[in-house]
């Protein structure tokens, strides 16, 4: 018989404590997998938060001139998949819909930087086009002011060069 300090655990007690902890972990995992509403609910909430984050980045991209129509439609599809996953009683279909939605969200998030660059380039091109067209209109107006009278009278004289003037 071994004597130990009061309150100290014997090797059998230590093994028993580890066994109890392991059993508690296994039971917790079994409960979470047996109740898909508890396990899947957190995944759905995370997916919805991720969609909100990507949507806010899309709004910022739109403010910087990006064309976000396609990306917004993809996010809408992902949101539909998340809602279908939330109402799906079958766990495998729920996980499949949720993974497809997360894939779509990831694709949209990856494309945001490219959309911003394209939007800024389009904005610069629009500004340059506006400046060039305004300059050309101004130049055409000045040239018309200077050369229109001369051109008008030379054309008028050329059109009437065969006319004869009679005394009245």
**pLDDT digits over 32-90, tens only?**
555 444 444 567 888 888 988 998 898 888 888 888 889 989 999 998 898 888 888 88
Compute the half-sphere exposure of residue 38: CA atoms within 13 Å on the CB side of its CA: 8
Residue 57 is assigned to a structural domain of this protein: yes
- Assess contact for 118 and 66: CB atoms under 8 A: yes
Q: Please tell me the distance from the alpha carbon of residue 3 to that of residue 8, in angstroms, as a whole number.
A: 10
Percent of the chain residues past pLDDT 70, beyond the cut: 75
Residue 151 is assigned to a structural domain of this protein: no
Given the structure tokens 């066994």, which residue do they identify? 19
Range of the domain at 125: 15-131
Residues sharing a CB contact under 8 Å with residue 107, sequence separation 6 or more, in sequence order:
74
Q: How confident is the model at residue 163 (pLDDT cuts 50, 70, 90)?
A: confident
Residue 74 is assigned to a structural domain of this protein: yes
- Assess contact for 67 and 119: CB atoms under 8 A: yes
Residue 165 is assigned to a structural domain of this protein: no
Residue 27 is assigned to a structural domain of this protein: yes
Domain count, the chain: 1
pLDDT at 88: 83
Q: What is the DSSP string of 42-55?
A: HHHHHHHHHHHHHH
Q: Tell me the mean pLDDT in the region 81-104.
A: 88
Report the Cα 28 to chain-centroid distance in Å.
37
């Amino acid at each position: 018989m071994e004597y130990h300090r009061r309150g100290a655990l014997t090797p059998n007690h230590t093994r028993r404590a580890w066994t109890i902890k392991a059993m508690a972990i296994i039971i917790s995992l079994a409960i979470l997998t047996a109740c898909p509403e508890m396990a899947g609910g957190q995944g759905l909430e995370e997916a919805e938060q991720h969609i909100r984050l990507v949507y806010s980045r899309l709004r910022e991209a739109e403010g910087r001139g990006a064309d976000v129509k396609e990306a917004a439609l993809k996010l809408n599809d992902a949101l539909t998949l998340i809602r279908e996953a939330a109402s799906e009683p079958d766990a495998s279909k729920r996980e499949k819909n949720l993974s497809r939605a997360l894939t779509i969200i990831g694709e949209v998030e990856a494309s945001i930087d490219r959309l911003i660059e394209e939007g800024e380039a389009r904005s610069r091109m629009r500004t340059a086009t506006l400046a060039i067209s305004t300059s050309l209109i101004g130049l055409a107006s000045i040239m018309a002011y200077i050369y229109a009278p001369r051109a008008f009278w030379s054309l008028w004289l050329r059109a009437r060069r065969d006319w004869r003037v009679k005394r009245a």
